[in-house]
């Protein structure tokens, strides 16, 4: 597991005070029952290619605030963001909340939590 700096962990913890997180099981249920929900992978492009959740779109943390309104103009659209471990997605969820998006969730433990629950991912590097 990565060792994150204390400053980074502090802003993540502050962000988590203002956002909603969801479990992988709840996300799986939402994906099956809410066709309007948008799932966004906020990791970097090289991480996306190695594997991502099947219904996700890719908007990395570096560009999401710039591009979210073009991709999801309705601020009432349910959005779930995820990264590898739930840290970057917490920061993104907080920023989207501050931008006016009213139903934003961060996937608890990110993709690691998804995989730990035995759920599948897609891989761009299929042979």
79-82 and 56-58 beta bridge pairing: unpaired
Which residue in 13, 20, 7, 4 sits closest to 81, CA to CA?
A: 20
- Residue of 39, 53, 79, 83 marked active site: 83
Q: Quote the pTM value.
A: 0.93
- Whether residue 117 lies in the annotated active site: no
pLDDT tens per residue, range 54-106: 999 999 999 999 999 999 999 999 999 999 999 999 999 999 999 999 999 99
pLDDT at 52 over 90: yes
Question: Given pLDDT bands bounded at 50, 70 and 90, which one contains residue 2?
Answer: confident
Mean confidence (pLDDT) of the chain: 94
Domains assigned to the chain: 19-116 (3.40.250.10)
Region 22-29: mean pLDDT is 96
């Amino acid at each position: 597991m990565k060792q994150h700096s204390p400053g980074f962990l502090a802003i993540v913890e502050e962000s988590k005070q203002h956002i909603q997180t969801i479990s992988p099981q709840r996300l799986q249920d939402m994906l099956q029952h809410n066709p309007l929900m948008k799932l966004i992978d906020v990791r970097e492009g090289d991480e996306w290619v190695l594997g991502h959740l099947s219904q996700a779109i890719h908007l990395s943390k570096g560009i999401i605030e710039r591009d979210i309104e073009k991709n999801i103009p309705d601020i009432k659209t349910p959005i779930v963001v995820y990264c590898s471990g739930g840290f970057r997605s917490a920061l993104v969820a907080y920023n989207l909340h501050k931008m006016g998006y009213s139903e934003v969730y961060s996937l608890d433990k990110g993709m690691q939590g998804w995989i730990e629950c035995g759920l599948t991912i897609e891989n761009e590097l299929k042979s």
